Amino acid sequence: MKHNFGAGPCILPQEVFQEAAKAVLDFNNTGLSILEISHRSKEFEEVVAETESLVRELLNVPENYSVLFLQGGASQQFAMIPMNLLPEGGKAAYLDTGVWASKAAKEAKNFGQIDIVASSKESNYTYVPKGFDIPLDATYFHYTSNNTIYGTEIFEKPQTTVPTIVDMSSDILSREINVAEFDLIYAGAQKNMGPAGVTLVIVKNDLLGKSGRSIPTIFNYQEHIKAGSMYNTPPVYSIFVSMLNLRWLKAKGGIKAIEQENIIKARTLYDEIERNTFFKGTAAVEDRSRMNITFVMDTPELEAEFLTLAKERNLIGIKGHRSVGGFRASVYNALGITSINALVDAMREFEESHK
Ligand code: PMP
Ligand 1 mean position, distance from CA 277 (Å)? 32
**pLDDT per residue as tens digits for the range 45-75:** 999 999 999 999 999 999 999 999 999 999 9
From 78, 148, 294, give the residue whose CB has the most ligand 1 atoms within 8 Å, as the site to mutate: 148
**Amino acid 342: pLDDT:** 98
Handedness of CA 340, 344, 346, 347 (dihedral sign): positive
**Amino acid 305: pLDDT:** 98
Ligand 1, residue 144: give the atom nearest the CA.
3
**Amino acid 230: pLDDT:** 96
Q: How far is CA 97 from the centre of its chain?
A: 15
Q: What percent of the chain has pLDDT over 70?
A: 100
**pLDDT per residue as tens digits for the range 207-263:** 999 999 999 999 999 999 999 999 999 999 999 999 999 999 999 999 999 999 999
Q: What is d(CA 340, CA 350) in angstroms, rounded to the nearest whole number?
A: 15
Average pLDDT over residues 155-178: 98
Instruction: Pick the closest to residue 202 from 310, 73, 63 (CA basis).
Output: 63
Q: What is d(CA 161, CA 343) in angstroms, rounded to the nearest whole number?
A: 43
- N- to C-terminal Cα distance for the chain? 29
Which H/E stretch holds residue 42?
helix 42-59
pLDDT band at residue 355, thresholds of 50, 70 and 90? confident
Ligand 1 mean position, distance from CA 28 (Å)? 32
Q: Is 248 annotated as a binding residue?
A: no
Ligand 1, residue 196: give the atom nearest the CA.
15
**Amino acid 307: pLDDT:** 98
Burial class (CB in 10 A: 0-12, 13-18, 19+), 7: buried
Q: What is d(CA 138, CA 101) in angstroms, rounded to the nearest whole number?
A: 17
**Amino acid 284: pLDDT:** 98
Per-chain mean pLDDT for the chain: 98
Q: How far is CA 38 from the centre of its chain?
A: 29
**Amino acid 152: pLDDT:** 98
Number of H helices, E strands in the chain: 9, 14
pLDDT of 170 higher than 90: yes
Average pLDDT over residues 98-102: 98
**Amino acid 3: pLDDT:** 98
**Amino acid 51: pLDDT:** 98
Pocket (CB within 6 angstroms of ligand 1): 8, 73-75, 100, 144, 148, 167, 169-170, 188
Ligand 1 mean position, distance from CA 8 (Å)? 9
Ligand 1 mean position, distance from CA 222 (Å)? 23
Handedness of CA 262, 268, 271, 276 (dihedral sign): negative
Ligand 1, residue 190: give the atom nearest the CA.
15
**pLDDT per residue as tens digits for the range 292-304:** 999 999 999 999 9
Instruction: Give catalytic residues, as residue numbers.
Output: 100, 167, 191
Average pLDDT over residues 78-91: 97
Domains and CATH numbers, the chain: 14-251 (3.40.640.10), 254-353 (3.90.1150.10)
Q: Is 348 annotated as a binding residue?
A: no
CB 191 within 8 A of CB 8: yes
Q: Is 74 annotated as a binding residue?
A: yes
**pLDDT per residue as tens digits for the range 182-204:** 999 999 999 999 999 999 999 99
